[in-house]
Every structure is written in structure tokens, then in C-alpha cells.
Amino acid sequence: MSDANTPRERRRDEEGHDEQPTGIDELLERVRAGYARVEAREAFDAARAGEALLVDIRYAALRERDGLIPGALVVERNELEWRLDPRGSHRLPEATSHDVRAIVICNEGYASSLAAASLHQLGLHRATDLVGGFQAWKAAGLPVTP
């Protein structure tokens, strides 16, 4: 058992140098390199053509304050993986296969990047997120309902 005052063992790279923990900016850069993010107009067109699911993960207070994207699925962030896993017992009816193109939308496009990366880990290889999030959607003049 470790004593609370005992320093944790340092992580070392292949050459034995101390590794620094990954910061959030580096993590975002790394996960975003794994897929192509989409702009608001592209997301709108894909959803309208039936080629993508828009998945709004903003928390309730933001949805109440700023409105909703018509037709978007509202899925709380803490339920996202359970709702979109096609093999999961709590999946949404729209989560039909690992080929579903889900475009995750948060408020400004940060949390959605991490969420899309998590969906990739579940095998949803076409998952992506909206650059700039809901705020970019709204700024582009795309439909929003109160």
C-alpha cells in the first residue's frame, strides 16, 4: 500500500527520460487527427440528405438557453456510448450499425471531439464532430428551434 506522501513512480519514455502528462490541447490535437471534422453547412446537408445523425450532447441548461437543432438526437454526454453502441442493450433505434455516421455537437466543438474519439473506440468509424459546435451552427444561420 502506498503512503499519501510517497511520490508516484514517474513514467519514462523508451530512452528513460521522464514523460510529461498529456495536456488537453495535445489530447485534442491527437484525437482530431484520427478523423475528419465537419463544418456546420456540411453537417446540415448530410443530415438533410439522411446521410448522418446529428447528436447534440450539450447539457440541458445550454439547450434551454440557446435552443435545439431540429431533428438532432439529444443524448446526454454521460449516456452517449450506451445510446450509440449498435450492440448495446440501451442503444437508440437510430444506432443501427457501426457504419452510422454520427456528427456529435457540443456547445463550441471541444467536448464533442473527445466524444467522437470515444465513439471511434466503440467501432463507430464514421463518427465525427462539428467544428465550433452549436455556436458555429447558429452563427451559420442554420435552423434552431426555441
Question: How confident is the model over 94-103, as pLDDT tens digits?
Answer: 999 999 999 9
Residue ranges making up the domain that contains 132: 37-139
Backbone angles phi, psi at 130, to 5 degrees: -90, 120
Q: Is residue 29 part of a domain?
A: no
Of 9-23, 61-75, 84-98, 114-128, the least confident: 9-23
Question: How confident is the model over 10-33, as pLDDT tens digits?
Answer: 566 677 767 789 999 999 999 999
pLDDT of residue 5: 52
Q: Is residue 20 part of a domain?
A: no
Q: Is residue 63 part of a domain?
A: yes
What average pLDDT does the structure give for the chain? 92
Helices (H), the chain: 24-32, 40-48, 60-66, 80-84, 111-121, 133-139
Q: How many independent structural domains does the chain possess?
A: 1
* Dist CA 41 CA 33 (whole Å): 21
Report the CATH number at residue 117: 3.40.250.10
